[in-house]
Amino acid sequence: MPSPTCTIDASSVIALDHLDLLPQLSFLFSRVLLPKAVRTELFKRRSTKDRLRAVLDSYTFVERCDDYDKGAVDILLIERATQGVEDRGEVEAVVQAAKVGAMVVVDDPWGRELAVRFDCDYHGTFWVLKRFFELGLTPSATTRNHFVQLFRRGTRMPWPAVNEFLVAIGEPPLTETGGVL
């Protein structure tokens, strides 16, 4: 059975890129689709621009994807703009996932709500890191170190669930000072 396809939002790409784990997504997904708005956001960041280009050039499972209902995206963005926020990357990721039957990797709470509205399976960066551990791609100490790095960067995560997971795999939980005990 082929592994599933996913679309992914910018915050998840940034977190996984920071940990040098983007290539390992091939163990979870046969295709990782990067919506145009996500690419645009990532290409604005000097720290991810060159690495993302290299990933797109080197790994065929990471693909540019612009095939989605632009009208649906625009309507959802109008709805979101009334709240003073524009999340085009999350919207494109969810709308594309719904169109192609993919999972959405999204950390933003509103993006997750949107995935539910579109009946899409969704997970976040926390789930990706857990799966890497469960598949034996990263040992427990390395997994904990990944969470420490993301905590120190201020990455949005379900930190109580992260700590429960760390304890379950025999690692100490993170502390409020960044997890180095």
Q: pLDDT of 20-71, one tens digit each?
A: 999 999 999 999 999 998 998 888 877 778 888 888 888 899 998 887 777 7
Task: Tell which wins on pLDDT, 6 or 179.
Answer: 6
What is the reported pLDDT for 82? 66
pLDDT at 149: 96
Q: For residue 144, which of 113, 174, 102 has the smallest C-alpha distance?
A: 174
Half-sphere exposure in the Cβ direction for 13 (13 Å, CA): 30
Q: How does residue 181 score in pLDDT terms, banded at 50, 70 and 90?
A: very low
pLDDT tens readout for residues 58-116: 889 999 888 777 777 777 777 766 666 567 888 889 989 999 999 999 998 888 999 99
Cα–Cα distance for residue pair 86/162, rounded to 1 Å: 28
Reference 106, options 157, 147, 170, 146; nearest CA is 157
Per-residue pLDDT at 155 exceeds 80: yes
Q: pTM of the full predicted structure?
A: 0.89
- Give rounded-to-5 percent helix, strand, coil for the chain: 60, 10, 30
pLDDT computed for residue 84 by the predictor: 60
Q: Among 113, 114, 45, 36, which residue's Cα sits nearest to residue 75?
A: 114
How many other CB atoms are found less than 10 A from the CB of residue 127?
Answer: 17
Name which of 108, 104, 110, 101 is nearest 122 in CA terms. 104
Higher pLDDT, 86 or 151: 151
Predicted local distance difference test score (pLDDT) of residue 81 = 65
Q: Determine the pLDDT at residue 20.
A: 93
